[in-house]
Amino acid sequence: MKLGAGLGAAAIATALDQASKAWLLAHFHATGCGILREQTLTPYFQLVLTCNRGISFGLFNRPGISGLTFAILAALVILVLVFWLSRAHTRFLAAAIGLVIGGAVGNIIDRLRFGGVIDFLSFHVGAWYWPAFNVADSAICLGVAAMLFEGFWLRRAALQTNRGTDVTP
């Protein structure tokens, strides 16, 4: 049952990511990575069409490093996550791991289709811009945050309940 929760979260995250990118490509009449396009929606938010050929926040976004290389590395990480998912003790942790898996799969699909990851959500305050990101990146961040929450707070609460003692540092 926990495995199903994780795989379900992964499937939903991947589907939402790919659907949002398909919508964006149609919106900008584009077929993939190419010319940067932008549309300002609010004073602090833009839709952009950009391609990240590197890893998180554009690190290693330079010629000579193949999108296939990053796709293979991400696939290895996914294998480790699936193993962890198979051993998850709670549905909450399984869903969190599933979000990370789904986000990674969504970005791998982009790397294989376009040679890089399509990013399109761009927030800024004045001249300070957060790097553009996508739904897959959001799923990964939410999944990691949920894993941290589960690891730090939910386990501590369970220990307190089971032992009847204070486990604060």
Is 166 labeled as catalytic in the residue annotation? no
Sheet with 37-42, edge to edge strand ranges: 37-42, 45-52, 117-125, 128-129
* Model confidence band, residue 52 (pLDDT cutoffs 50, 70, 90): confident
Q: Does the pLDDT value for residue 167 go beyond 80?
A: no
Contact 3, 86 (CB under 8 A): yes
Report whether 17 contacts 102 (CB < 8 A).
yes
If you average pLDDT over residues 88-94, what whole number do you get?
Answer: 92
pLDDT digits (tens, 9 = 90+) for 119-158: 999 999 988 998 899 999 999 999 999 999 988 876 666 6
Q: Give the 3-state secondary structure of 62-126.
A: CCCCCHHHHHHHHHHHHHHHHHHHHCCCCHHHHHHHHHHHHHHHHHHHHHHHHCCEEEEEEEEEC
119 counts as catalytic: yes
Predicted local distance difference test score (pLDDT) of residue 109 = 94
Residue 16 has which token pair?
A: 């939402």
- The whole-number pLDDT of residue 32 equals 85
Task: Out of 17, 110, 137, 166, pick the active-site residue.
Answer: 137
